[in-house]
Structure formats: structure tokens, C-alpha cells
Amino acid sequence: MDVQHPAVVSDLAAPPGIPAARRLPSLKLVVAGIAALLVFVYLITTAMGTSTVYYLTVGELKAKGAASYNTPVRVGGRAGDGSILSDASTQTLRFSLTDNTGSLQVVYKGVVPDMFGYAKDGHYQDAVVEGMLRPDGVFQASQIIVKHDASFAAADAQATAQAGSLPANGKQQSR
Amino acid sequence: MTFADSASVALGLAIALAAYGSAAAIVGYFRLLPELRRSAEHAALAVAALVTYAALVLFGLLLTHQFGVAFVAEVSSRTMSTRAVLSAFWGGQAGSLLLRTWVLTLFCAAVVLVHRRRDRELLPVAMASLCVIEFFFLLVLLVSADPFTRLPSPPADGQGLNPLLQDEAMSFHPPLLLTGYMAFAMPLAIAVSGLVTGQMGISWLRALRRWTLVAWTIQGCGLLAGAWWAYHVLGWGGYWGWDPVENVALLPWLVATALLHSLMVQERRGMLRVWNVTLVASAFCLAIFGMFVVGSGVITSVHAFATSSVGPLFFGFLSVSMLGLVALVAYRLPVLRATGQFDALASRESAFLFNNLLLVAVVVATLWGTIFPMVSEVVRGVKMGVGPSFYQQVNAPLLLALVLLMGIGPLLAWRRTSLSSLRRLLTAPVLTALVVWSGLILLGMRQGLAALAFAACALTAVAIGVEYSRGVRARQRGGERLLQAIATLVVRDRRRYGGYLVHLAIVLIGLGIVGSTFQTTSEVSLTAGQPTQVGRYTLTFAGVQPYQGAGYQGVMAGLVVGAGNRQIGALFPDRRVYVHWENQPVTGVAILTSRPWLDDVYVLMTGLADDGTATFRVFVNPLVSLIWAGGFLFLIGGVILFWPPKRARPAWRAVQSGKAIHSEA
């Protein structure tokens, strides 16, 4: 019979009779641990300080007005019909980004993602722009991210894993 | 009944058998009913067969263009190439879930077949756990993402896969990553088996290590394949963007990396027992979390997946798994107490401990950045997130320390190392690192961190070299030739020298990553025959040529690349317009790796005017090709590590039969 009784423990987890050492960690170890933790927390907080971005709607951005100049933000919406103007000689793209709270003039210089301006069912794909609002009220985008529509969204997770990175990525622009 | 319906029936049978299998295995184990246990094993194998049938049916439906099936109409079309049609299998939510379920059932069958012969006592509970996971995935498949749902009126042609997904890399990248995700179920099942039965000895450790290796190797290859795809297809000049969807795939792999190291400490010194089962459980939960994030749209990813009913199901499963695992570990805490203790700071086990702490720090930081938008919205009511620079700033020093540790750690002895032997072994690596560092600074490298990283890579590479040469020299004294000595060294001690190969692979990948931070980019408009200078390379635009591809119309540009007054190759970036996707042209990337500098000259055609003027974006990416070379070495190292040791087999039998006698007694 090849069945084993559960009570027959072939490899004992711990040798019986030898109580495991349960000593308090030394003071040195505790200090080192706390120091390491502090370094880690410091790393995280300094990095957060320089890389956080607010996600706003067009209306929220406009409501902030001057308070939001020169702060990096992310705004989602859809390029308005017929608003996309691209100047091939300077590689500059202008369009108006619209959501249900208003619309925003956007200017962008760089590689335009393949899917930007791709129309389906009579309207453009949703897009997210990252950048800053200029004092003249125009949004200077450093990055355009195209959201996939429902049929693409249904697409397999991993397959599209990097698809979103296809926009001119942060690497190309300085933040 | 149609073909598609028969697959639905197969899935229905499979879910019933999975439920039966888990119950029968548990009851058979605790009530000591070998017949029931064996019946459970057969059930698990039958589930694998049934789901394999369903998967083959879906391949068949795709290949024969059965657009009456909603999924087939959604992801494939008649104009797509056969290869693209086959990879459309995982081009949609339902198909990707079926793929995941399929590989899970195959893994479960593998566990049954392997542990039927060895470590039998692990099998019942492990199999029951796997059957429970199978049950969950089959449930999701049947309830919310059935790939075999039929349309009332079949369309003449399907919509087809998004052109970005019709690339060749689609044939291997998603299946690898999805398989990797699912493979974390196997180490979990072994761990649960040990926790439930209380048998966590050396054979349990070995099984745990081997199944973890499988998951870790597959997921590692999947991640690299993803990076390769991003680099070669998406055309933004990079390979990794710290997007949530990428991060969640990295997390379980990092945890498994930590586990593979700390398991050695448990094996040798009996320490870190609680830590190790926690790592196994975390790797599995992070894998489920990854699938949840990807399928639910809960975190604003640039991928912006639609919210689907899959999300809540995964979240529920994740919560239940986490609670159950915490309870199980708590229940077994007394058995998990350490039998050894740390003797000295300069010892192999403390190197492993540091390695674990650093890896876990990377995991915590990356997880924090990934879920931060969710946290800030819930806690402060403000939607905000962190950009790639967060991950770079936090992880760069941690990863640098890891590379250094990778060089030093293997030179340390277990328990304690004498400083004199350490000094002897470290002299060459440290000197090399100093030379590399000062050389780079003298050559004018301004990025201090990058110079340090190159130096750390040099130190580790030389340290690995030292280890190899020690072993090889010992063999050569025995009269072996160099290559023979290297081969026997690796074959005799696969774990050690295979591990060093993986370390070397990580060094290569590290060099590529650091090199790629020196990326330069420019944008040029050229008329036919016009040259341009980019860094040390001259690109001469030869002209454009329209061509016809499988399911698309393309325009290809030709550029001759020269360095100095030597011609080093040609680049053919293109733009493609796919049938059904006329509004979304696809920009094809062309890459040339220059020798001997190992720069990637990476070109995209971003615009083509009517007068024949073409606009190109040109990146020069130093050393990126080393990442792919490292990837291959990683795979080789992983396979060597996994390869069963030759001489252990007879010994195995002896142990097995010994045990059998023991249990009969």
C-alpha cells in the first residue's frame, strides 16, 4: 500500500525536543533595521515629491486657473471633431480636448501615437494628456496617451500590456 | 449541437470534475481512502483533457473563421494571416481566460503526474488546492467570459485584431506571461499542502523550489518578451514604462526571486520558515492581484481596460485566498519556528537576508506606486498618481545594491566567513570595479549613478568569473581540458553554476538598462538621397517603396547607415494600413545594432509628405541588445537550474521505498 498515514511524518519540520532559539534581537540589529527603514521611507517620500501628478477633469483644471500653472497634471477627454491640426514641418499637433465639464486647447510637439485621431463609430478615441497649463490658457502636453475603446479594452490584458506605452513616452520628454 | 457547443459542454463537465477532484482528494487523504485519492487524481487529469479539448475547439473555430461565435468575430477576420489568427486566441478577454485556465489544468496534471511517483504525501492537498483554483477560473469563464457564446446572425467577416496586436511577438509574449502568472499556483499548492499536513521537510522544500523555479523562469521570460515587444513594435524607443500593467507582472517575479534565495537558507540552516511560506503566498496573491488589476480597470492605466464583471470575481477570490493563507500560516506558526540562528554578519545566510530585504523593498515601492492613485482617491479624495521617475528614483539604488550583493554574496561561506579569504576572493573584482569606475569618470561620464552601476556590474561579472575559474582550475588539475572542465562543472553542480549563469544574465540585463539611460533622440526630415548625422552614425535616405503585406498595405523607406566612412547596414522602417483599421496606420520600427559599439540605431518613419519628403525619428539606444542576450542566458540558466540531477534519481527511489516500508511498519 502506498498510502501514507497523515500521522506518519516522514520529514519532521523541526527536530522535536530542541527548542528553537528565541532570543531578543540585539540592539545593534534593531538600530540597523530602523535605519534601513528610514532610508527606504526617505527614498520613497523624496521620489513622491518630484513625481506625483494630479489627475483632473477639464473643468477642475480650469477652476484651478492660475493655481495650476506649471504643475504637472493629467487630463482625460476626447479630441473634438475636426479640431486636430497637425503641422508636419514643425511636428506640432494642436487639438481641443473635450469632456463633459468643458474643453481645453492642447498643443503637443513630438511623436503622435499611432492610435491618436483614430475614429470609430463617428468619434475619436479617448485620450489622456499629461503636461502643464500655460498662463495663456493653452495646455502644453508632454505626453499623449490614447485610451483604447471598448473592443480594444476587451483585448487581452497582457497583449496590450505595453500598448499604452506606445505614445511618445515620458522618456522622450523631460518632465 | 455544434462544435462550439461541445466545447461549452466540456467546460461544464470540467468544472464539475474540478469540484469533485478537490473534495475527493481531501476526503481521500483525511479518511485514508486510497481509491478516492486515485479517483481524484483521475478527475484532475480528466479536467486537463476536457479544457484542452475546449482550447483546441477554439483554435479550430478561429482557423475556420466561424464568425457565428461572438469571440471569433470580435478578434479575427478573413484578411488576417494564419499566425495572427492563431494568436487572436488570447487577443480578447474570454480567450485569454480560457488560455489561463487551460495552462492551469495542464500544470495541475503535471503536479499529479510528477508527485504520483515521488513525494506522494504532498499530492492530495496540493491537488485539492489546484482544483479549487481551477474551479474558480472555470467559473469566471462560464459566468462572465464564455468564448463560445454564439451570435444570433453571423457576420460575413470578423472585426479582426487591432493591428498593434497582429505582430509576431503576439504569438509568444502573451501566452508566456499568462502561463507565468498561472504557474505561481503550483508553488502555492505545494506550500498549502505542507501547511495543512504539517510535513515541511526536505522533500517538501525541494518540490517547492522546483515548482517555484518553473513559475519564475516562465514569468521572467514573459516579462522580457513583453519588453522586447514594446521595444520592437510600439516604437517609443524604450522597453519598459513602469505602467501599472507592467508593474503587476513584475511583482510576483521579484517575490519568487527572493523566495528562491531564502529557500536555500531554510534548506541549509532551518531559518526563515515563516518568511518563506509568506513569500510563496505573496507571490500567488500578487499574481492574482495582477490579473485583477488588468481585468478590472481599478487602476488608471494607460491601457484603460473597460470595467468588466471579471474584476469583482477576481477581487473576491484574492480576498478569500489572502484570508485563508494568513489563517493557515498562523495555525502552523508553532511548526514553523526556526531551528537555526544567524551567526555572523559576513555569512552566506545574511547575504541572502539582505537580498530578500532589498527585493521586498523594490516590491513594496513598486506596489505602492502602482496602487497610489487608488489610495490617494480613497484617503484624500484627490486623484493623483506617480510617474515613471518615481520608480526610477526609488528602485535604482536598491537594484544597484542588489547587483553588488550578487557579486559578493556567493563568495561568502555559510555561517561565517574569514575576512582573509574574503579579501583574497574580492581583490580582483573590487580592483576591476575601481578601474571601470575611474575610467568612466575620466572619460567624462557625468552620471554618477550610472558610473557606479557599470562598476557594480563589472564587480559582479568578475566575481562570477573568479568563482568559475576556481572550479575550472581545480578540474584542470585533474587533467580536464578547459571546455570540458566548464561543462562538467555546470553539470555536476547545476544549482551553483546554473545560478551563476542567471546572475551573469542579470548583469547583462543591468548593463543594457543602464546603457539605455544614455538614449539620444532626434527628428529629421529628409528628401531622397539626403544624408543626416546622428551621433557617430550617418543615415542616408534612399527613398520609399510601397508594398503589399498580409492584410495590409505598406510603404517602406530605405536608409543606409554608415559609421565613419564605413557602411554598416540598412534600415527599413515602414508604415502599414491594415484592412478594417484604415484610420489607424501602424508605424513599423527598424533597428540596427552597430558593432562594436552595441548601439541600437532605432528608426521610425513618422511622416511622409506628397513631395517624397519623409520625416524620421531616430533614437540611438546604447547597449539595449544586451538585455535580449541576457534574456537568453536567463532562460538557459533557468533550465539548467530546473534540470533534474542525474544521480539523485536512484537515491530517490531508495528514499521512496524506505518510506513505504516505514509507513507499512
Q: In the prediction, which pLDDT does A25 show? A: 62
The confidence score (pLDDT) of residue B442 equals 94
pLDDT over 70 (residue B4):
yes
Give B385 or B584, the one with higher predicted confidence: B385
DSSP string, B102-146: HHHHHHHHHHHHHHTTS-GGGHHHHHHHHHHHHHHHHHHHHHH--
Mean pLDDT, all residues of chain B: 89
Q: How far is the C-alpha of B501 from the C-alpha of B506, rounded, in Å? A: 9
Interface list for B 304-333 with A (CB within 8 A): 304-306, 308
Under a CB-based contact definition with an 8 Å cutoff, are residues B311 and B295 in contact?
A: yes
Q: Given this model, what pLDDT does residue B462 score?
A: 96
Bridge partners for B577 per DSSP: B553
Mean pLDDT, residues A16-44 taken together: 75
* B204 contacts chain A (CB < 8 A): yes
Q: What is the dihedral of CA B284, B286, B288, B293, to 10 degrees?
A: -170
C-alpha cell at position B249: 507582472
Q: Which residue has the higher pLDDT, B299 or B491?
A: B491
Given a cut of 90, is residue B64 above it in pLDDT? Answer: yes
- C-beta atoms of B662 and A10 within 8 A: yes
> Does B262 have pLDDT greater than 50?
yes
pLDDT above 90 as % of chain B: 61
pLDDT of residue A153: 35
List CB contacts (< 8 A) between A3 and chain B.
Answer: 32, 34, 37, 120, 663
Residue B618: its pLDDT value, please? 93
- The number of domains in chain B is 2
| Chain A nearest CA to B364, separation (Å) | 10
Point out the least confidently predicted range of A51-65, B245-259, B310-324, B356-370: A51-65
A161/B303 Cβ within 8 A: yes
Cβ of A156 and B585 within 8 Å? no
Residue of A nearest to B99 (CA): A156
pLDDT tens per residue, range A61-120: 888 878 888 788 888 888 776 677 777 667 788 888 888 888 889 999 877 777 676 655
* Buried b or exposed e, range B513-528, using 16+ CB within 10 angstroms: bbbbbebebebbbbee
Give residue A8's pLDDT band: very low, low, confident or very high (50, 70, 90).
Answer: very low
Which of chain B's residues have a Cβ under 8 Å away from the Cβ of A148?
162, 303-305
Interface test with B, best of A22, A71, A165, A174 (most B CBs within 10 A): A165
Nearest CA in chain A to B300: A55
Q: Does any domain span residue B553?
A: yes
* Angstrom distance (rounded) from CA B86 to CA B80: 10
Single out the residue in B131, B166, B201 at which a domain terminates: B166
**Full residue range of the structural domain in which residue B37 is found:** 1-166
pLDDT confidence band for A53 (50 / 70 / 90) = confident
pLDDT at A89: 67
Q: Which of A51, A126, A156 minimises the CB distance to B389? A: A51
Q: Is the pTM of this model over 0.80?
A: yes
Chain B residues with CB inside 8 Å of A117's CB? 583
Task: State how far residue B426 is from chain A, nearest Cα, in angstroms.
Answer: 25
Burial of B477 (0-12, 13-18, 19+ CB in 10 A): exposed
Partners of residue A129 on adjacent β-strands: A75, A144
**What is residue B649's three-state secondary structure?**
helix
Residue B489 has pLDDT above 60, yes or no: yes
Please give the pLDDT value at position B298. 59
Query: A145: which chain B residues are within 8 Å (Cβ-Cβ)?
Result: 302
**Minimal CA separation from B512 to chain A, in Å:** 16
pLDDT digits 0-9 by tens, B185-232: 999 999 999 999 988 999 999 999 999 999 999 999 999 999 998 899
Mean pLDDT is lowest, of A100-109, B457-466, B600-609, B641-650, for B641-650
Q: What is the mean pLDDT of chain A?
A: 69
pLDDT greater than 90 at residue B654 = no
The reply to whether B603 falls in a domain is: yes
Query: From the CA of A40, how many Å to the nearest CA of chain B?
Result: 8
Q: Do the strands B384-386 and A52-56 form a parallel or antiparallel pair, or are they unpaired?
A: antiparallel
Per-residue model confidence (pLDDT) at position A150 = 38
Assess contact for B229 and B627: CB atoms under 8 A.
no
For chain A, what percent of residues have pLDDT higher than 70?
60
Domain boundary among B134, B166, B198: B166
* CATH at residue B534: 2.60.98
A42: nearest CA partner in chain B: B394
Q: In this structure, what C-alpha cell is assigned to residue B204?
A: 517538501
Say yes or no to pLDDT of B665 above 70. no
- Indicate which of A12, A156, A166 best probes the interface with B, i.e. most B CBs within 10 Å of its own CB: A156
Q: pLDDT tens-digit profile of A119-149?
A: 555 566 678 888 889 888 899 998 887 765 4
**Are β-strands B599-608 and B590-593 bridged in parallel, bridged antiparallel, or unpaired?**
antiparallel
Say yes or no for a CB contact (<8 Å) between A118 and B583.
Answer: yes
Residue B504 domain-assigned (yes or no):
no
Using one digit for the tens of pLDDT, what is the confidence trace for B490-543?
888 899 999 999 999 999 999 999 999 999 988 888 999 999 999 999 999 999
CB B65, CB B158: distance < 8 Å: yes
Select from B72, B170, B584, B602 the residue whose CB has the most chain A CBs within 10 Å, as the one to mutate to test that interface.
B584
Q: Which of A55, A126, A172 sits opposite B373 (nearest CB)?
A: A55
Band the pLDDT of A30: cuts 50, 70, 90. Answer: confident
Q: How far apart are CA B660 and CA B665, in angstroms?
A: 9
For residue B8, give the 3-state DSSP assignment: helix
* Cβ–Cβ < 8 Å for B295, B366: no
* Mean pLDDT, rounded, for B547-558: 90
Q: What is the pLDDT of residue A32?
A: 86
Of B137, B166, B195, which residue sits at a domain end? B166
Residue B651, domain member (yes or no):
no
B542 lies in a domain? yes
Residues of A in contact with B365 (CB under 8 A): 40, 43-44
Contact A169 B604 (CB under 8 A): no
Q: How many CB pairs under 8 A join A and B?
A: 278
Interface of B with A in 508-527 (CB under 8 A): 519, 521, 523, 525
**The domain A53-170: what is its CATH number?**
2.40.50.140
